[in-house]
Amino acid sequence: MTNDPLHMITYSDQVRVLVAVDCIIFGFDGDQLQILLIKRGFQPAKDQWSLMGGFVGKKETLDGAAERILFELTGLKDVYLEQLSAYGSPERDPIERTVSVAYFALIDINTYKTQISDRYHAEWFLINEAPSLIFDHNNMVEEAKKRIRYKAALHPILFELMPTKFTIPQLQNLYEQVYNAKIDNRNFIRKVNSTDLLIKLTEKDKSSSKRGAFYYTLDKNKYKAKFQSFLNFIPNPENLIS
Amino acid sequence: MTNDPLHMITYSDQVRVLVAVDCIIFGFDGDQLQILLIKRGFQPAKDQWSLMGGFVGKKETLDGAAERILFELTGLKDVYLEQLSAYGSPERDPIERTVSVAYFALIDINTYKTQISDRYHAEWFLINEAPSLIFDHNNMVEEAKKRIRYKAALHPILFELMPTKFTIPQLQNLYEQVYNAKIDNRNFIRKVNSTDLLIKLTEKDKSSSKRGAFYYTLDKNKYKAKFQSFLNFIPNPENLIS
DNA sequence: AAATTAAACGTCAAATTAACGATTATTAAT
DNA sequence: ATTAATAATCGTTAATTTGACGTTTAATTT
């Protein structure tokens, strides 16, 4: 048995495989939840839609590779990035066996640098209108959505998607898109306010109503401090997840 | 830039690396929460304690490799096994770059087949008395503990560690070890009963008290059906999850 | 000035929670 | 028969959280 650690002195008789990183990049523009995809410009699966990915470099960590790939596509650094899972089915890449470590990112689309991404033929898609993807990328996206729903029910990660200035109706809109559910407006405001995470600004956004909605910013310190708290924004999330 | 997907036709100029799986195996014998470790019989790090691991075979999935390794060490199949995370720091293995995908397993120690494990010099350690491990295995174990604490606060995964027949005091004991905290006995019983997951047997365990505690078994169907429910066994888990 | 729109605030009864106190049951040891 | 020891049950409380709804407010459009 070649995989038996007891009888191995070196690793010489083991298979080496490619290791890649794929990023599921979620974005919000204050209105719609979107996902960033690229059209592959090379074989295999040329001209098909795909997640942004790449191989892990010689001296790179997995997190480092994910950060690099995200930066190459969006021009952004210091973005919320979390490892989703590793995918390693032997047939997942038809050219050569490749283990892929998937990461998901949450970004504010307004900070996205479009000029950098042009060379990758990147495009934003509404979360419910995204095309079918190559290999097992559809599965990765599904699992990423599930993870976000799970996590956002308990922790304030969706704030990572919001613009620096945002309104509470915008925030509620995002939650409604993530959970595909209508949320009671009065209860939502109460919960958001009770977290004490937001700082109310004097300025208003008048684009969506006559009265206008106050802008808020995130109190970053409180956000970091309370991130692990179980906020329970979403009542009975188990009814909505998956 | 060699990692640029745009200018690649094949994958030929990419680095191939070893991919391994490491298993954090938690066990409970009805009394103590333990972890199963092996003493490495080969270089590097010969005679040091380590997680049970192995390389992913040519035609194996990651999950498949984890199942195989778990079976080799414990003789067990159909055990709770969940991917924890992938670890890929370039220096994590001194011999050659190896990306490791860590899995954690939860087993009932009573079903553990000791004769199979003998060849690996495996040993159970109390969770708080485990020795220091090779490479980044200490870190993996810490993250696995964290994950279990997180998950067990919301879902009934700790039942996976229980013997077929167990008592409520045993169950409470396990929760107290996992969270390193004293749990109110009256509230705990009330919550456990309200989940409706347990079937009370007529037999009693008299080993730990004069009166004896009733044995229970898990109602597997209800367990599966309610696994995703948020049970809230642990009040304010954020104070306990580090 | 009235109408319109959605934002923001308020109310309430029901349910759930954690933190306790007290009691009863069972059986081995004395 | 009494004591000791743990298991199990029952009950109480105040505080908090819940969901469901009604009402008011602010600013723009007409």
Å between B127 CA and nearest CA of chain A:
24
A64 CB neighbours strand C below 7 A: no
Measured CA to C1', the nucleotide nearest B237 is C18
- DSSP letter assigned to residue A227: T
- Residue A218, beta-bridge partner list: A198
Q: Any idea of the CA torsion for B48, B50, B52, B55, to the nearest 10 degrees?
A: -90
Question: What is the DSSP pairing of strand B33-39 with strand B16-28?
Answer: antiparallel
Answer whether A41 sits within 8 Å of B6, measured CB to CB.
yes
**Token pair for B49:** 């304690």
Residue A39 · residue A123 · CB < 8 Å: yes
Residue A116's Cβ-side half-sphere holds a number of Cα atoms within 13 Å equal to 12
Bases of chain D below 7 A from a protein C-beta are: 4-11, 17-22, 25-29
- Residue A35, beta-bridge partner list: A26, A125
Q: What is the pLDDT of residues A85-111, one digit of tens each?
A: 999 999 999 999 999 999 999 999 999
Per DSSP, the residues of B13-62 read: TSPEEEEEEEEEEEEE-SS-EEEEEEE--SSSSTTSEE-EEEEPPTT--H
User: What pLDDT is recorded for position A187?
Assistant: 92
- In chain B, whose CA is at the least distance from the CA of A228? B238
pLDDT band at residue B231 under the 50/70/90 scheme: low
Say how far A224 CA is from D26 C1', in Å. 34
Say how far A189 CA is from C13 C1', in Å. 20
Domains observed in chain B? 18-137 (3.90.79.10), 152-239 (1.10.10.10)
A232 CB neighbours strand D below 7 A: yes
User: What pLDDT is recorded for position A239?
Assistant: 57
Residue B25 · residue B111 · CB < 8 Å: no
Please give the share of chain B, as a percent, with pLDDT higher than 70: 90
Answer whether B14 sits within 8 Å of A9, measured CB to CB.
no
pLDDT band at residue A209 under the 50/70/90 scheme: confident
Q: What average pLDDT does this structure show over A120-146?
A: 96
Question: Helices in chain A by DSSP H: which ranges?
Answer: 62-74, 114-117, 137-154, 168-179, 185-195, 220-226
Q: What is the pLDDT of residues A158-176, one digit of tens each?
A: 999 999 999 999 999 999 9
User: What pLDDT is recorded for position A116?
Assistant: 76
Say how far A187 CA is from D22 C1', in Å. 13
Per DSSP, the residues of A122-140 read: EEEEETTSPPP-STTHHHH
B214 CB neighbours strand D below 7 A: yes
